[in-house]
Amino acid sequence: MRARLTLIAAALLSTAALSLIAPGCGGGGGGVVDENADQDGDGYPAKDDCDDRDAEVNPGATEPCSCDGQDDDCNGTVDDFACALVCYPAIDADGDGFEPPADCNDQDATVNPAAEEPCTCDTVDQDCTGEAQDFACDMVCYDDKDNDGFDEQTDCNDSNGGINPGAMEECECDSVDQNCNGSTTDIPASCGITCTDADGDGFYAEGDDCDDSNETVNPDAMETCACDAVDQDCSGDPIDFECDMPVCMDADGDGTPEGPDCDDTDPAVEASPDPEACSCDGKDNNCNGTVDDFDAACMKTCTYLAAGDTCTPDGEPGCGAGLACCGSPATCVTKCVGDMCEAGCPMP
């Protein structure tokens, strides 16, 4: 009986020994991996190699440009390659049967490679071709250069995002058609302002119409090709025309050329919208057709010198109508004409 028990015990010990040897395939004992071993022969031991069963995975490898889900270079990050490739999770979030990147919008089930591009000039690429308006219908789409949602066919100013059919007319006498309805004068009553367009040219006297009594004078008009005193385009310069004209002379050097200057021999006289200075000099200094029409606040009553009276050039009182102060000594003389002018005496 004792001999039989001894044999059974020996057999059990032999089986246990074999079970310890088998996992290591060489007697490593208990299945323990040798950290210095290099099972895949890639030159990196198991302690440094994050996958010692694959020779292409090791710390010296380069992460391939592929969404393979592996940390090929053993730096702790999967698919951290240097190329311009985007890896998407294998998921169909919108349930349309297509996954990214084939599905260019996985949050919208109506957008996928099997969808049909609708016949609209929208900016959505429904069929994921890379083109938002590659529909099959007979339609022409126009550009929306200012990106305000209205194309150049419906937007009256496609270079300004604040001007379009959906905009609100501003509370300003600015002569701008903000809402593209064809009118620059439809300012909402709620603005509480009054804008006057007496000549009906679409520009306001309170805004940028420099002469609201003349419909040919406004910011949209073209400057006439003449050395005149009229600023047709309201630019502030009455002679900024674009034609081939002789140079408009400025004989007296006052900055106002002949034409606008009603006396181009006298630098104290030039075309100006401002009232005249408070001086009884007998001149139409602002070229508005009236002599000494200074502001009423000046409270002066002018008397003028007669022919032959001693005078002071540019002083007061001035010489009367048709007379000029010149000569030495200076006296009031009749304005000369052409070759009859004496030295220093202005032409009429």
What pLDDT does residue 97 have? 93
**Under-70 pLDDT residues of the chain:** 1-33, 245-246, 336-348
pTM, to two decimals: 0.39
What pLDDT does residue 157 have? 93
Please give, one letter per residue, the 3-state secondary structure of the chain.
Answer: CHHHHHHHHHHHHHHHHHHHHHHHCCCCCCCCCCCCCCCCCCCCCCCCCCCCCCCCCCCCCCCCCCCCCCCCCCCCCCCCCCCCCCCCCCCCCCCCCCCCCCCCCCCCCCCCCCCCCCCCCCCCCCCCCCCCCCCCCCCCCCCCCCCCCCCCCCCCCCCCCCCCCCCCCCCCCCCCCCCCCCCCCCCCHHHCCCCCCCCCCCCCCCCCCCCCCCCCCCCCCCCCCCCCCCCCCCCCCCCCCCCCCCCCCCCCCCCCCECCECCCCCCCCCCCCCCECCCCCCCCCCCCCCCCCECHHHCCCCCCECCCCECCCCCCCCECCCEEEECCCCEEEECCCHHHCCCCCCCC
How do the domains of the chain map onto residue ranges? 303-348
What pLDDT does residue 211 have? 92
What pLDDT does residue 121 have? 79
